[in-house]
Amino acid sequence: SKKAFIKVNCAALPKELIESELFGHTKGAFTGAHADKEGLVQHAAGGSLMLDEIAEMPVELQPKLLRVLQERSYRKIGSEKTYAVDFRLISSTNRPPADAIRDGLLRDDLFYRISTITIHVPPLRDRNEDIQLLTEHFLHMYAQKYESTIGGVSQAAYQRLFGHLWPGNVRELQNVIERAVLLAKGNRIEPVDLPFDNGSLPESASAGPGWDVPPNMTLEDIERLVIERTLQRTGGNKQAAANLLGIYRPRLYSKIRKYNIDVTSLVSA
């Protein structure tokens, strides 16, 4: 049978909730705890628990994790009962552990306990072969997801990908390729389709060259134009449009209502 593999991004969980998510809680343990809850540690029993960005875990919670690893048992929040648990821990961080320890973000005793085997992965900017492989993977994935006819990446576009510093590593590359699949005008990704300026949209998705923005437009007029053109490019897919615009979907809905945008008419136009 398949063993559990539970992945947790410590940077994505609110600090006040991460202990409950990891170790669970009993009913009434705190405000809002209306029922008992199993933690992810228990869900990983017999398998693996992946703690991504472990240096983002609150320092005050790290001793509890250390005890779990040493004693192979834990307690839920609000409970005195001890539960046995055994799992393989895999952890990652995007900063050198020595720096995280020095800056007080990672306890040295926890690091020494989890660093039995350490693998250093060079930053994406130093791995052009991986950039190409990952680009092909994401291109295929998003072309299927959005039913796109995009079939490849030009050499000029690859050179731009190879030359980027990728401060966001693989997650940034994934986001860039998703946007490019949605916004590319031809049947392959070109340099103009690749956004690298603080996550802003490429020319093909912005109110810039090629969109013939009328003079004397107000900021609100331009905002509406960008939203309309993005919705047209995504075929009315609001989630995809929100991703491209860098905003949450409820925010996009609010803008659509504000500007009274008829999405159906846009797509059929």
List, in order of start, the domains of the chain with CATH numbers: 5-114 (3.40.50.300), 124-200 (1.10.8.60), 219-268 (1.10.10)
Q: What is the reported pLDDT for 154?
A: 95
| 150: nearest Cα among 166, 168, 138, 159 | 138
> Cα–Cα distance between 233 and 180 in angstroms, integer?
11
Identify the band that residue 239 occupies on the pLDDT scale cut at 50, 70 and 90. Answer: confident
Task: Find the mean pLDDT for residues 81-89.
Answer: 95
Q: Average pLDDT over the chain, rounded to whole?
A: 86
- Amino acid at residue number 121: V
Task: Find the mean pLDDT for residues 251-266.
Answer: 89
> Cα–Cα distance between 257 and 100 in angstroms, integer?
45
The tokens for 49 are 């628990």
| 21: nearest Cα among 50, 42, 52, 47 | 42
Identify the band that residue 203 occupies on the pLDDT scale cut at 50, 70 and 90. Answer: very low
Q: Which of 23-27, 125-129, 166-170 has the lowest mean pLDDT?
A: 166-170
Q: Which residues of 6-38 are buried (b: 16+ CB within 10 A; e: fewer)?
A: bebebeebeeeebbbbbbbbbeebeeebeeebe
